[in-house]
Amino acid sequence: MSKEQRVVITGVGALSPLGNDAKTSWDNALKGVNGIDTLTRIDTSDYNVKLAGELKDFDVEDYIDKKEARRMDRFTQYAVIAAREAVNDAKLTIDDNNANNVGVWIGSGIGGMETFETAHNKLLKRGPRRVSPFFVPMLIADMATGQVSIDLGAKGPNGATVTACATGTNSIGEAFKIIQRGDADAMVTGGAEAPITHMAIAGFTASKALSTNEDRETACRPFQEGRDGFVMGEGAGVVVLESLESAQKRGAEIYAEVVGYGSTGDAYHITAPAPEGEGGSRAMQAALEDAGIEAKDVQYLNAHGTSTPVGDLTEVQAIKNTFGEASKSLKVSSTKSMTGHLLGATGGIEAIFSALSIRDQRVAPTIHANSPDPEVDIDIVPNEAQDVAITHAMSNSLGFGGHNAVLVFKKFED
């Protein structure tokens, strides 16, 4: 059996409510900027939800030709843009010499919801012959991966994970394993989502998942009293994973090493987490074991922390069950307090934030932390970024359907 490859992050790309690139998003996260504001994508007159984490000052034609962009759903546009940034950041040239060894694995939780709504309205008003031939290739969730691979010319392992809110983290974890076992030298991976649509907002509101708070300063407040649901966000987070051998051969900059991945199922409920976060705790433990470390070796955890009443407390219990005494010194923050919840893209964004935390030895805060829930007895890094000596960071993603995915990152040492 061949020796497992070490896997490192050499490029990052992002579109988020905090910025239209990874650097701006991270800089604003460290500043505690609130990316949540009045929802403008749809008319909310008949909706109870009034806020969202939308992209700011974004025009797709600044990045993609108009004709080409019209043949992509918004989530695919986001993926292509973030992937280009990540590959450029990695200074990775993809050509005939290496194309077969560079893969793409980018997931989406709900895919082309906007495309579906538009086509359905056209079908009802104008009949089936007016539905676009691009409807299906724009709608399906694997098309982010498909379009990115075409755009980059990457011909290696190619797939798309769909595990609701765990999608981005599962995608990066699967790509990590592909490189680790030697099936590719590099993978462009993460998540993309464009969920701010009529049906998505209506559906998540009906399930009582979304906050109906109209105050942008208190609507998304993970781990605080009075939280009433998550705030929808949009964007993409994509990283370039590469074997250490490949990265060193190219002289690439290395942000962090990926060392652990855990994935479990609750087998409990379609939306509610298992009691005491049993499934999430098993995923964290699996990631620690995969990394070959103990809980006390982790200094920072980017929590799922969505600002739902049950979800936040369940995750806190899962963290305490996993970390034991070490949970008292662990820094835990929810960057969703600034971005909102990007569904399938959130794991990609939070993987980037975790890796950059290691690079900068600095942890982004949980903002709006002014009314702490007395049952949350962990350090959630309230309101202001903190300098932290980090050797290992963990990122949690817990999705509808009982999907739990966890990644562990390590400060790179040659």
pLDDT tens-digit profile of 85-128? 999 999 999 999 999 999 999 999 999 999 999 999 999 999 99
CA-nearest of 333, 371, 337 to 354 is 333
- Within 10 Å of residue 120's Cβ, how many Cβ atoms? 13
Report if residue 210 sits inside a domain: yes
Quick one: which of 339, 70, 387, 124 has its CA closest to 219? 339
67 exposure class (CB count in 10 Å sphere: 0-12, 13-18, 19+):
exposed
For residues 175 and 231, membership in a common domain is answered with: yes
Residue 255 lies in a domain: no
pTM, two decimals, is: 0.97
Look up residue 173 and give its two tokens. 């974890």
**116 and 60 in a common domain:** yes
For position 19, what pLDDT does the model report? 98
186 with 38, same domain: the answer is: yes
Q: Mean pLDDT of all residues in the chain?
A: 97
Tens of pLDDT, residue by residue over 260-295, are: 999 999 999 999 999 999 999 999 999 999 999 999
Say if residue 1's pLDDT is above 50.
Answer: no
**At 344, which CATH number?**
3.40.47.10
Q: Domain check: are 163 and 88 in the same one? A: yes
Catalytic residue among 220, 341, 392, 403: 341
Task: Tell me: do 157 and 183 sit in the same domain.
Answer: yes
pLDDT at 2: 59
Are 42 and 121 in a shared domain? yes
**Residue tagged active-site, from 165, 220, 368, 392:** 165
- 48-72 confidence digits (pLDDT tens): 999 999 999 999 999 999 999 999 9
Question: Do 54 and 234 touch, CB atoms closer than 8 A?
Answer: yes
Q: Tell me whether residue 110 is in a domain.
A: yes
In angstroms, rounded to a whole number, what is the distance separating the alpha carbons of residues 332 and 396? 11
Share of the chain above pLDDT 70, in %: 100
Does any domain span residue 298? yes
Q: How far apart are the first and last CA of the chain?
A: 23
Catalytic annotation on 220?
A: no
Provide the domain limits for residue 246.
7-250
- Mean pLDDT, residues 34-56 taken together: 97
Of 220, 304, 368, 392, the active-site residue reads 304
Task: Report the alpha-carbon distance of residue 52 to residue 43 in Å, rounded.
Answer: 12
Alpha-carbon span 333 to 370, nearest angstrom = 14
Helix 167-180 / helix 346-360 crossing angle, nearest 10 deg: 60
Partners of residue 263 on adjacent β-strands: 405
Instruction: Mark whether 120 is an active-site residue.
Output: no
- Catalytic residue check, 341: yes
Give the percent of the chain with pLDDT over 90: 99
Question: What is the average pLDDT across 294-319?
Answer: 98
Confidence of residue 414 (pLDDT cuts 50, 70, 90): confident
Of the candidates 250, 274, 309, which is a domain's last residue?
250
Q: Tell me the per-residue pLDDT of 358-402, one tens digit each, with 9 for 90 and over.
A: 999 999 999 999 999 999 999 999 999 999 999 999 999 999 999
Render 313-344 in DSSP notation, one character per residue.
HHHHHHHHHHHGGGGGT-EEE-THHHH-B-GG
Query: What is the total count of domains within the chain?
Result: 2
Domain boundary among 218, 250, 282: 250
